[in-house]
Every structure is written in C-alpha cells, then in structure tokens.
Structure 1
Amino acid sequence: MATAQQNLGTALTSSGATAVTPETNTFTLTVGGTTYNLSVSILSTDTNQTALEKIAKAINAAGAGVTATVITDTTAGTSRIQITANRTGTNSAFSLADVTGNAVTATGANTVNVAAANAQYTVNGVSYTSQSNTVLLDRGHLTVNFLKTSTATVTLTVTPNTQAITGAVNNLVNACNTLAILIAQNATLISPRLSQAFNQAYTVKEQELAALGITAGPNGTLTVDQTKLTTAVQNNLGLVQSTFGGANGFAVNLGLLGQEITTSPLWGFAAPGAYQASFFPNTYSYLLTLNQSQLAAALFPSGTIVNYLV
C-alpha cells in the first residue's frame, strides 16, 4: 500500500517551560526535493504546548504539502507535534532540520513514525509501483482503489454501465427529435440543407442504429426500443461505440453539424424568402441570421452521448 509519511515528535510536558530555545528559531522543511525556510519566535514565557503550536502554525503557513498538528494527552499532561504528508508516496517524503536554535531537535519534529511508501502491485505478471493507492488500468478506462495488501490473485471483471450508456443514448435521441421538430416547424425559413445533413447523419448509420433499437418515423423523429438497446449495451458494446463514436459515427456527424451551425455565418441555412421582419423574433435574429442558440440547444443538451462516447 502507498502510505503518507508521518512524523511524531517527543512528548513534552504541556505546561512546562519551553524546551525550545527562547529566540527566533529558523529551520528548513524539505518536501519532495523542495526546501522551505521557516522561522518561529519563541518567548521565555512560552510553555511547551505554546511553542509547539507556534511551530505547527509556521509549518502549515508554508503550504509545503504537509500538515502539522499538536497532539495533547490531557491525562498524561503532555503535548507533541505530529506532521503528516498530504499525499502518499515517496515523492511526498519530507525532512526537517535546524538552522538556528533547536526547534526541530527539542521537539523531535524530524522523528519518522510512518515512512512514505509507494504501492506495489502486479497486473498480468508485470510489476508496477504507484505513489497513490488509486491507479488507472486499461489505458485509463478503469480506476482501481487499493484497500489492503494481498498476495492472492485478484480478478477484476468489468461490465458496461448500462444505465449511464442507455441514458446518454436517450438524451441524444431526444435532442435529435427536438431538432427534427424545429426544422419541420420552420420548413419555410430553414434551408433544406440542414434537414438533409441531419438525415444524412442518420442514414449513414441506419442499419447499425436499427440493430440498437433506434429507428426513424415518417416525420423524421427517432424512437428507441429500450429492451433492444439495453441488450445491445450489455452484449455488444463495441457496436454501440462504433455506431455513435466511430468513423462516421452518428454522434460524431451530429457533432460536426452542430459545429458548423455554431461557427458559420449561417446565411446558407436560411431558406429563400425567409428574411422578413415578422420572423426576426423567433427563428432569425435581428441581423437576419439563423438563431444559433436555438439550434445549438437542440443539438447539444446537457449530458448528450456526443461527450460521453466521442
């Protein structure tokens, strides 16, 4: 397992006179090869607990990637400083050393209680190390969290997140239907080129989409056979991926269409005779260009499969 270094200082009598030299004590804190120069002013009237709290505050203020706290045992009447790396692994190992004064030596702040260590694991016979107990496998597609050590072989079985994928497909279908209805309702205003491009995106993958339970009706809207789609996701995820995110994928082509809509001047999307003032507030802006936001919203609702699979 990967562990974070933890230092635990000497137990000092909390109310006793400070063991740290009453003066400005300077010391270094080195974390992962970076050295921080710290200082703390100790007074002759300070108790051990007060001095420890000052040192902990100076360490935390450095923002060096470690956290210092003062642990007080009220029963024993003692206090000690505890310093812990904020991250696991040897890259976050740290050390402290006095420069002037004895803040580190007197408090035992450089006493390592738990050493920094990297996780060690083997995947398919190949050994690896990690600074963290969370690692990515399968080219980053699989996140694995180490919870405890084991010498026994662990088999990981990965299955598709059916609910998330079918949900993304349904989101995209709903977006397509919104766009199809928008085009139909504004047929005299929108160039046929837009509906042709939309239909082409579907036609290219018509057979694959049908295999997933997605078909087009006479009015251009799509319907989803949820049972068929769920079965395909569970048993033929490759088909789902290639249909939407592969070469000429349905989602990819819709994405390209959406990009064209949102980046072009859009005069080409206006049908002849559409430039009439009565239409400006709805489909066309006052600049006589197609309302980009309306079409973009139809194409790209939150959580569409364009972002999920492409």
Structure 2
Amino acid sequence: MATSTGTISTSAGPLDVATLVSQLISAESQSQLTPLTTQASSYNTLISAYGSLKSAMSTYQSAIKAMTSASFSAQKSSVSNAGTGSNLTTDPFSADINGDDSTKILAQKIQSAGISSGTTFNAGDSIAIKIGTNSPVFVTLQANSTLAGVRDAINAGKTGATASIVTDGAGDHLVLESNTGGTANTIKVTANNSLSGFFYDPSSSTPSTMTQTQAPRDATKAASGNYAVAVSQLAQAEKLSSASIAPGSTFDNGLLAIKTGSGSTTIIKPTTNTLAGVRDAINSSDAGVNATIVSDGTNDHLVVTAKNSGSTNTIKITGTENFAVFNSDPSGTVTSPNVASGQTYSAGNLTLKVGDSSFNIAPVANGSGNIDLTQVKLAINNANAGVTASITNDGSNDHLVLTPTGSSATAAVSLTGTSDYAGLSMSGMGQLLKAQDAKLSIDGVNVTSPTNKVENVISGVTLNLSKVTTSADNFTLNISNDTSGITTAANSFVTAYNTLAKAVAGMTAQTPSTTLGQANTSAPLASESSVQTIMSQLRNTLFSTVDGGNGINTLSDIGISFQKDGTLALDSTKLSTAATNNFAGIANLFAGTDPDPTNTTSSKNGIVTKLQTLMTSLLSDNGIIATKTSGLQASLKINQDRQTAVQSRLSNLKDAYTNQFNQLNLTLSSMQSTQSYLTQQLANLAKSSG
C-alpha cells in the first residue's frame, strides 16, 4: 500500500530574548519613567534658579547693610594756610571726621548699690522695667533667687534692657543697660518687696536707689565751621641711650628696676649676662618700654624707648652693681649718692665721661686748704665738658648733680672716682628724646595731648599732628558737609538695586520665537509668582514715604526714579540741589530710624532701614525663597521615590519577560526536535513502502 510522502517543516528558531525584553522595557519606561525624570529635571532647574536668585539677593543685602547713616551724612575736612612768606609749613596735620567715640550713640546704663554675696530674693516678687515711651515689662521671680537669678530672669523677660553683674569692694551690683541707644530710650525701674532696692526714676520725688553710670547720648556729628589751628610741639616718647659698652661685656651682678610713668616698678634680673640678654629681659617684661642695641661701629649702646608718648610717661631706671651703667632719671640729670655735709677729699682721682669724651677732673683746694663738694663742682664746671654741676640737699645729705647741656644734652654721663672720691661715682644714660606732650591751640585755646592723635577737642574730629607750625603760618581747618559723598552713596544705592533687577530680569525673561509655530523660550523663573511678589515688595519699599525729612520724603524728591526696564535712574542735578538745601533730610530719607527699634514698619524708618528689614525677612529660614525652595525639594523627593518605585517595577517586569521568553525558546527547541523526528519517520516509512 502506498503511503504519503508529505513533510513537516518550520523556520522558527531561538528568539533574541535580550532584544525583545529591551524593546518591551523601553516602551514601558517611556510611558512610566520618562515623565518622572522630565519632572525631576524641571524641579532641579527651579531649585538651581532659586539658588541663583538667593545669591543675587544676598549680594544686594550685603550692599544695603554697608550703607549706614554715615554713608549719607558724611562730612569732609580741608586744611588751608593763609600765612605769608617763603618758609611756610606744609601738611602739619590732617583731620579724621566722626571717627572717634564722641559722636556715637550711647545707651543709658544704671547700677544698683552693692549687694552682699548670697543675698536671696523671694519668689513671687516683681521688677518692672520701662524703656523710653514703651510700656513697662514686668518680671516675676518664679523661685527664690540670687542676684544671678534676678539677672537671668530680666534677660529672659525681653524687657528692652540687658542685665549683668559687676563686683567691687562694695559687693555685687546689678547693671542694666538699655538695648537701644539715645536719649529717647532711658530706663525706669520699679520693684516690690525683696526687690525694692532696685529703683530708678529721676523724675520721681522718691530718691533712686540705682545710679546712672553711663548717660544716654544721641548720635551727633562734627560741627561744620572753620577752626584756626597752630601746633607748637609734637608729642614724643622718651628715649634713652647708654654709654658705650664694649662688645662681649658681661653683667654678672646686680639687677635693674624700671618704672614708666605712674606704673609700678618692674624688677628685671636677666638670665643671660650679655647685653643682648639685658635687652631680651627688658622686652619680655611688662616695664612699658622697648629695648634695642645700636652699634656705633666700635661699641654697643642699649637704647630704651617708652612704649607710650606724653610727658607723664617718663622712664626711671635704677641699676645696681654691673647694671649701674643703665641708671636714668626722668629729669635727664645724674645724681650722686649721699654726701655728708662738710665732706672733704684729699686722695684719689676723678674721671668724667660725657658721651665718648673723657675728662680728668682736678679739684683745687679752697681758701681753707680743703677740697670739698663745692670745689669738685667748680672743677667740673671749669672743665667745659658739656655738663653743668650743681649741689642739692635732701634735708640730710648733699648730692652732686650733673646736667648735660648744649651739644651734649643727649649724651650718657658718668663720673668715676677712686679713693676719697669713690663715693661720688655715678652714671646715667643719655636722654635722646624727652617725654613730652603735643601742644597746640585751636581758635586761641591752648590744648595738650599725650599723643599726636588729638581726639575730642573738636567734637567729632580727630587731629593727626605731624609737624610744628611757625609764626608765619596761619592754618585753618574747615569742616563741611560732603555733598560729593552723598552723590557717591546715592549712586551706590542705585547701582546695587539695578544689579539685582537686571539679574532677576535675566532669570524671568521670555524670548519670543522667530520661527512660526515654535514656542517662546522662557527663563526658569519666568512663571514664578514668588519672584513677582519679591520684586513688588522691593519696589513698594523703595518708593515708600519717610517722615521727618523737612520736604524730602521720597526717593523722587532727590532725583531717583524707576525706568521702563524696571531699573532705577538718578538725576544728579536734582540730588545736588537737595544735598545743598537739605543735607540732613537726605540722611533721614535713607537712614532714619524710629526711636522704638521694634517698630520695623514705622514711617520714621528710612529707605535703607526698611530695605534691611525686608531683606532679612525675605532671606530668613522661613522667608519666601527658603519656603519655595523647601517645597520644590519636597516635591523632588516625592518624584525620586516614584522613580525608585517605577524602576523597581520595571526591573521585576524585565525579569518576568526574560523568564517567559526563555521558556518559549525551550518550547520552540522541543518542537523543532519533534519535527525532526517525525520528518525522519515519515521518510523511513516512504522508503519501506516503495
């Protein structure tokens, strides 16, 4: 019987599992993950943009903080000389304006009487503190307290004053200082029961138990005007130089005692016996002097200089034994040890040394045939050695006193005696510079100063003296309002805002498309209402009204206005006119402050004052930028969590697809084996049938 010769065939082969799975996962990712990554990119772009906005605003805040009241009320000084002649002095002094403490605002400070350590104040007792026109703030002790507890309770009570404790011989004192300076912010204190010792009210008929230790003061400035100034003497620090000291000399015995001005005496015992050791010991002490070594090419000299200038900062050095060579008296004289009245001399020699010159002194006997202290004095004076000898008496003993004169006035002096004259031996350092004050006259009033920096003689003015003037000079110091400084400050104010405005404009710009059908290009913050709110608040602040300017109440009054592009422009002519006519009004417009510092919205606050408050708020941790950034970061976190979940789901799906297609490959492989078997069997059947 004939059989069929048909065959079974298939072209199916192993599936490309990796490609199939990749394509399927890519499709899933496109629909689930891509929208999330696109959204995350948008969040990151906004977070970065708000970071740039914060940076630009921080720069503006720094610029505003640098603008103080002084920026808009600056004064200037000039010095002129109306003297005649060819030898006039040039630049004998300069002036700094409003740089000292005399014009700065001060807060009132009051202090209680002394309180014994360990004194207890009772729980439930109260103290009321009133600052200026503010309502009093009551502080009640919650438990029995020491003075430290009272202090802490006051500081925790936000009373407008800061409490502290000082201690002296009378005991502990509670000190209260107003947190705000000025005469409008004085302190009044009332208390009850155990706290009743704290009372201060000068207007009350009841005597205050607390006393004022610092009077309140309003900020002022130097008085404009002309001042005639003449300088007759510059201040200088005393400087001493020892006699010549041979290199290698040692100082093995004795010590030094140094006293500067009214300070205490410092005892110095060098640990190294060389001249350098003496210098180092002096410099490491607290003697109020500096020591150096100067060489003349052959010998060394110890030079000692007072750290502070002024006539009261004289140097007195007393040396014993080897250190006697460093003796020095503020008078510039050298004084011998005690000499008994009627002392006579018959044997020995005297050698006088003035600087590097030596003189043999040979006293001649008097009419009685004796050589006494008077004959020694005469012999020294007749030697023309550059010193004048005199005799003083301290009530018990005589002293020979040597005073350098003329060209030897700054020389070191020593007198060395042998035998009978040994008791006259003495030495003293040369006085290179005498301690002296600066002397000057201002409008005919004589003034002295221990330094060449003369403060507070003219309120708000510090004079820096550098030269002595002469009778031919006629110097005038002029203090005037610095209208050019106002212009500089106003320009800085405008520039600072314009820098911010331009930066924000770049962050919010929308660029129209030039291609039909193509969308406009927008900067990251173009649609952010928060940015619009910030700029609106800034503009409102810039053109708010300030009280108390006597006709200058807004920026437009001095020539500052907005332009069409949102930046500010300055009319220099209008500003100059305003500065000339109402200098104080401009300072008030920019930097005025309400006496109550807590009233941050007061119309008495100047534009800069208001801007500083606004910028602090905008850039605070709970300000609009921080809040917006935190919201974006929270949204980004949610997005990232969703991405993680989707990626996990896609990973699981990839595994499932891979398993399914691998199983299908196994099935296909099995089918192919079956096909081959059946084909072979059919072929064999056909052969057997033939």
TM-score (norm 2): 0.33
Task: For residue 4 of structure 1, give the secondary structure of its aligned residue in structure 2.
Answer: coil
The residue number in structure 2 matching 1:39 is 269
Which whole-Å CA distance do the structure 2 matches of 1:274 and 1:199 have between them?
26
Aligned amino acid, residue 37 of structure 1: I
Give the C-alpha shift of residue 218 in structure 1. 4.2
Give the C-alpha shift of residue 153 in structure 1. 5.8
Which whole-Å CA distance do the structure 2 matches of 1:244 and 1:89 have between them?
43
Which whole-Å CA distance do the structure 1 matches of 2:562 and 2:539 have between them?
12
Which whole-Å CA distance do the structure 2 matches of 1:92 and 1:54 have between them?
25
Give the C-alpha shift of residue 113 in structure 1. 3.6
- Choose 1 or 2 for highest CA Rg: 2
Task: For residue 479 of structure 2, give the secondary structure of its aligned residue in structure 1.
Answer: coil
Change (3 A) 1:143 1:130: same
Give the C-alpha shift of residue 224 in structure 1. 1.6
Give the C-alpha shift of residue 34 in structure 1. 3.8
- Stretches of structure 1 lacking an aligned partner (at least 5 in a row): 44-50, 281-310
Please provide the CA RMSD for this pair.
Answer: 3.7
State which of 291, 299, 322 in structure 2 corresponds to 1:102: 322
Give the C-alpha shift of residue 88 in structure 1. 1.6
Whether the 8 Å contact between 1:89 and 1:118 is mirrored in structure 2 is yes
Give the C-alpha shift of residue 254 in structure 1. 1.4
Q: Per-residue CA shift, 1:109-141, capped at 9, x if unaligned?
A: 55444222222333345443322111235533x
Report the count of equivalent residues.
263
Whether the 8 Å contact between 2:553 and 2:589 is mirrored in structure 1 is no
The residue number in structure 2 matching 1:59 is 282
The residue number in structure 2 matching 1:213 is 559
Change (3 A) 1:269 1:31: same
Which whole-Å CA distance do the structure 2 matches of 1:279 and 1:116 have between them?
75
State which of 238, 259, 262 in structure 2 corresponds to 1:5: 238
Give the C-alpha shift of residue 169 in structure 1. 2.5
State which of 295, 302, 308 in structure 2 corresponds to 1:72: 295
Which whole-Å CA distance do the structure 2 matches of 1:90 and 1:174 have between them?
51
Change (3 A) 1:36 1:260: farther
State which of 426, 430, 450 in structure 2 corresponds to 1:131: 450
Aligned amino acid, residue 147 of structure 1: S
Tell me if 1:223 matches 2:569: yes
Higher relative contact order structure (alpha carbons within 8 Å, sequence separation ≥ 6): 2
Which whole-Å CA distance do the structure 2 matches of 1:107 and 1:153 have between them?
44
Which whole-Å CA distance do the structure 1 matches of 2:635 and 2:446 have between them?
67
Aligned amino acid, residue 463 of structure 2: V
Whether the 8 Å contact between 1:8 and 1:109 is mirrored in structure 2 is no
Give the C-alpha shift of residue 61 in structure 1. 2.5
Change (3 A) 1:73 1:269: closer
Give the C-alpha shift of residue 156 in structure 1. 0.6
Whether the 8 Å contact between 1:66 and 1:85 is mirrored in structure 2 is yes
Which whole-Å CA distance do the structure 2 matches of 1:170 and 1:195 have between them?
22
Whether the 8 Å contact between 2:252 and 2:322 is mirrored in structure 1 is no
Which whole-Å CA distance do the structure 1 matches of 2:300 and 2:607 have between them?
66
Whether the 8 Å contact between 1:7 and 1:82 is mirrored in structure 2 is yes
Change (3 A) 1:232 1:65: farther
The residue number in structure 2 matching 1:255 is 612
Tell me if 1:166 matches 2:487: yes
Whether the 8 Å contact between 2:592 and 2:609 is mirrored in structure 1 is yes
Which whole-Å CA distance do the structure 1 matches of 2:318 and 2:618 have between them?
63
Aligned amino acid, residue 255 of structure 2: T
Task: For residue 476 of structure 2, give the secondary structure of its aligned residue in structure 1.
Answer: coil
Task: For residue 2 of structure 1, give the secondary structure of its aligned residue in structure 2.
Answer: coil
Whether the 8 Å contact between 1:9 and 1:109 is mirrored in structure 2 is no
The residue number in structure 2 matching 1:295 is none
Give the C-alpha shift of residue 8 in structure 1. 2.0
Aligned amino acid, residue 167 of structure 1: T
The residue number in structure 2 matching 1:121 is 440
- Stretches of structure 2 lacking an aligned partner (at least 5 in a row): 1-233, 330-428, 509-524, 547-551, 594-604, 637-690
Which whole-Å CA distance do the structure 1 matches of 2:635 and 2:258 have between them?
69
Task: For residue 116 of structure 1, give the secondary structure of its aligned residue in structure 2.
Answer: coil
Aligned amino acid, residue 119 of structure 1: A
The residue number in structure 1 matching 2:530 is 189
Change (3 A) 1:62 1:21: closer
Which whole-Å CA distance do the structure 2 matches of 1:179 and 1:101 have between them?
75
Give the C-alpha shift of residue 225 in structure 1. 2.6
Tell me if 1:199 matches 2:540: yes
The residue number in structure 1 matching 2:305 is 84
Which whole-Å CA distance do the structure 1 matches of 2:498 and 2:483 have between them?
22
Give the C-alpha shift of residue 53 in structure 1. 2.9
Whether the 8 Å contact between 1:10 and 1:108 is mirrored in structure 2 is no
Task: For residue 156 of structure 1, give the secondary structure of its aligned residue in structure 2.
Answer: strand
Change (3 A) 1:116 1:279: farther
Give the C-alpha shift of residue 2 in structure 1. 1.3
TM-score (norm 1): 0.67
Task: For residue 158 of structure 1, give the secondary structure of its aligned residue in structure 2.
Answer: strand
